[in-house]
Chains A and B, each alone.
Chain A
C-alpha cells in the first residue's frame, strides 16, 4: 500500500516537470495556434546550453540559468520574428514542416557537438537531498522544488492572461487576429512576445530536466509528446488544465512503470488516446 502511495506521489512530482514542458507549448498554441514540433528539442537545447555553461564556465546551475535566460528569450523572439511568423496561416503545413526541420537540425547539431551520450547538469547536494514525510515516505528536494516552481509558473501564466494588459493582448490576438489588428495591435509582435515568454519557460524546463535527470540530443521528440499529451488531456485554453493534464500523465506513467518497466510510457500514451476518445475537448477545457 505504502508502495502505491509512493508511486503516485512520485508520479505527481514527475507531472510537475512535465507541466514545465507543457506550459510553453500551451502558451504558444493558445496564442497563435502553432504546434511547434521542435518544442522538445528546444528544451533539450536549453538543457545542453545550461550543461555547457555550468561545466565550462564553472558558474553552477543557477549561474548558468542567469546567463541562459536572457539568451533564450532573445532567441525565441528572433525565431518568431524571422522564421515562424511567415509560416503561420490557415494551412498548418508550412509551420509543421519548418518546426520539424528545426527539430532535426537541433538534434543533429547537438549530437555533433556533444555526442549521443546522455548528460546531466551537476546540482551538488540538491541531487540527493530529500524531505522525510509521514509514514516513512520521502520525496527528493529537487523534484519537490520543481513541482512548486511549475505550480508557480502555471499560476503566474494564469494571472498574466487574466489580469494584465499583456494577457489581454494575447487573448485578443488569439480570439481574432484580424480584429485585433484592426484595433491597432501588431499580431506579429504579439506572437514574438508570446514565443519569447515561452522560451523563458523552455530555458527553465531545460535546466530543471538536466538537473533532475539526464538529457541526450535525441530526447526532444519524447519531451514534445509528453507536453502535447498533457496539453490535450488538460483541455485547451487553461494553464491549470495543462498543469492537471501533466500530473495525470506523470501519475499514469508512474503506475505503468510500477506494473512493468516496459509499459510505463505506453500506458501514458494509451490514457491520452482514451481521454481523446471519451472527452475530445480534454478534461478541463476553457477555464481561462
Chain B
C-alpha cells in the first residue's frame, strides 16, 4: 500500500458510456421512425413487425429466466397461450374492448404463475425444463377440451368485428411496438435495480448470494412471475394480430424452441443478444423458410453449433471483443488508475 491510508482513493461507479448513450439516441430515433409505419407502410410489413415484436418479447423473457434466473424452461408457451386465451375470452364473452383486454391477458398470465410456480419449483435443472413443458401441455389439453372456446380447432376473435380495419391494424401495431420497447425497458430497469443485482449474484452462485442476504426463493419467484407477465403480453398481442387462436398454436412448444434459438444465437444473458437473435432468426426465415423441414433442421444444427462452439452467442462474442455495451447492466469502477471492469 503506497497510498496514504487516511485518504480513500477517489472513484466513481460508471454504468453507461459513450456507446450506450449513442445507442439510446439511435434507438429512440428508430422507434420514432417505426411508429410512423401505419401512415405509409404496407399492412403486410406491419403484421410482420408485430410478429417479430412478439417473438422478441417472448425471447427476452426466456432470456431473463434462463440467462439471469438460471431457470431453463421449455414451457413458457403456457403463459403465451394463457394471455391469448384470456384476451379472446374477455373479448368474445365479456364484451370487453380487445385492446383493453391485452394488458389483462398479460396480468392473468402473471397471476397464474403464482400457483403454477408452486408445482414447477419442485423441480430443478433439466427436470424443471420438462416439468414446465408438462404444465403447458395440461393447459393445451384443457383448452382443447372446452367446447365454448372452440375445443381443439380453436376460435376467432369476433370481438374485433365492429372495428375498422385500418384502426385495428394501426392500434395493434402501436401496441406491439410499445410493448416491445416497454419490455426491453422493463428488463433493463430490473437488471439495474437492487433486485437485479440480487439476481446477477444468484446466477453466479446461489449459496454465496444467499449468505450475502439474497432471498433466493423470492428472487426466483419474482423473475418467474415477471417472465410470465411478458409471455402473456406477447401472447395477447400475437393473437390480437392473428385474429384466431387454437390450442395447438397457442401452446406450441415451437414458441420456446424458436426463443431458445434466438437467445442462444444472439447471446444469452445480455439485453442486446435477443435483439440480435431475432434479427438473425427473421433473416434466416425470409431466406430459407421455403425449404420447410430442412430449414428447421438447419436451425437445430445452428443452435447446437453455437451452444457448443460459441456459448456467448453473436452479441456476447462481439461485445467482449470490442468492449461494447449498448444496454449496460454491469458496473464499472473508475479510479485514477485505468478503469477496472466489474462484470455483472
Contacts and interface: CB of A to CB of B under 8 A. Distances in A.
Interface of A: 29, 33-35, 37, 83, 86-87, 91-98, 100-105, 108-109, 111-112, 221, 224-225, 228-229, 232, 260, 262-263, 265-266, 269-270, 272-273, 276-277, 280
Contacts of B141: 262-263, 265-266, 269
B106 to A, nearest CB: 24
Contact of B127 (A91, A103, A228): A228
Interface residues of B, number: 40
B32 to A, nearest CB: 36
B208 to A, nearest CB: 14
Contacts, number: 119
B195 interface: no
Contacts of A100: 74, 257, 260, 303
Among all A-B residue pairs, the 9 with the closest Cβ atoms: A35-B126, A104-B300, A108-B293, A92-B125, A101-B304, A101-B300, A105-B300, A266-B141, A101-B303
A92 B307 CA distance: 12
A273 B74 contact: no
Interface string B47-75: 00000000000000000001000101010
Contacts of A112: 293-294, 297
Contacts of A97: 260, 264, 303-304, 307
B304 A102 contact: yes
Given A93-B66, A224-B130, A98 B307 contact: yes
Interface stretch (B11-19, B115-123, B235-243, B331-339): B115-123
A245 to B, nearest CB: 13
A92 B119 contact: no
Interface centre among B72, B118, B126 (most CB of A within 10 A): B126
Given A101-B307, A112-B294, A37 B300 contact: no
Contacts of B253: 221
Interface stretch (B36-44, B132-140, B166-174): B132-140
A228 B119 CA distance: 15
26 contacts: A33-B126, A35-B127, A35-B130, A37-B126, A83-B304, A83-B308, A86-B308, A92-B72, A93-B72, A96-B74, A96-B129, A97-B260, A97-B303, A100-B257, A100-B303, A101-B300, A102-B300, A103-B300, A105-B301, A228-B127, A269-B134, A270-B138, A272-B134, A273-B134, A276-B119, A277-B122
B212 to A, nearest CB: 20
A103 B66 CA distance: 20
A94 B125 contact: no
A224 B74 CA distance: 13
Interface centre among A34, A104, A225 (most CB of B within 10 A): A104
A109 B297 contact: yes
Contacts of A265: 137, 141
A273 B125 contact: no
B103 to A, nearest CB: 29
Contacts of A35: 125-127, 129-130
Contact of B130 (A94, A105, A228): A228
Given A100-B260, A104-B296, A277-B122, A266 B142 contact: yes
Interface of B: 66, 70, 72, 74, 118-119, 122-123, 125-127, 129-131, 133-135, 137-138, 141-142, 144-145, 253, 257, 260, 264, 268, 293-294, 296-297, 299-301, 303-304, 307-308, 311
B297 A108 contact: yes
Contacts of B264: 97
A157 B135 CA distance: 30
Given A232-B127, A276-B123, 16 more contacts: A35-B127, A87-B308, A91-B70, A92-B126, A94-B308, A97-B303, A98-B303, A104-B257, A108-B294, A108-B297, A112-B297, A228-B130, A262-B141, A265-B137, A265-B141, A280-B122
B313 to A, nearest CB: 11
A35 to B, nearest CB: 2
A260 B135 CA distance: 20
A104 B134 CA distance: 18
A145 B147 CA distance: 40
Nearest to A87: B308
B135 A273 contact: yes
Given A37-B129, A225-B137, A277-B122, A263 B145 contact: yes
Interface centre among B123, B131, B311 (most CB of A within 10 A): B131
B131 A266 contact: no
Nearest to A236: B127
A108 B300 contact: yes
Contacts of A228: 127, 130-131, 134
Contacts of B293: 108-109, 111-112
A262 B144 contact: yes
Given A35-B129, A93-B72, A266-B145, A104 B137 contact: no
B18 to A, nearest CB: 33
Contacts of B72: 92-93, 96
Contacts of B308: 83, 86-87, 94, 98
Contacts of B134: 225, 228-229, 269, 272-273
A102 B301 CA distance: 8
Nearest to B127: A35
Contacts of A229: 134
Interface centre among A35, A229, A232, A260 (most CB of B within 10 A): A35
B69 to A, nearest CB: 11
A10 to B, nearest CB: 21
Contacts of A83: 304, 308
B139 to A, nearest CB: 10
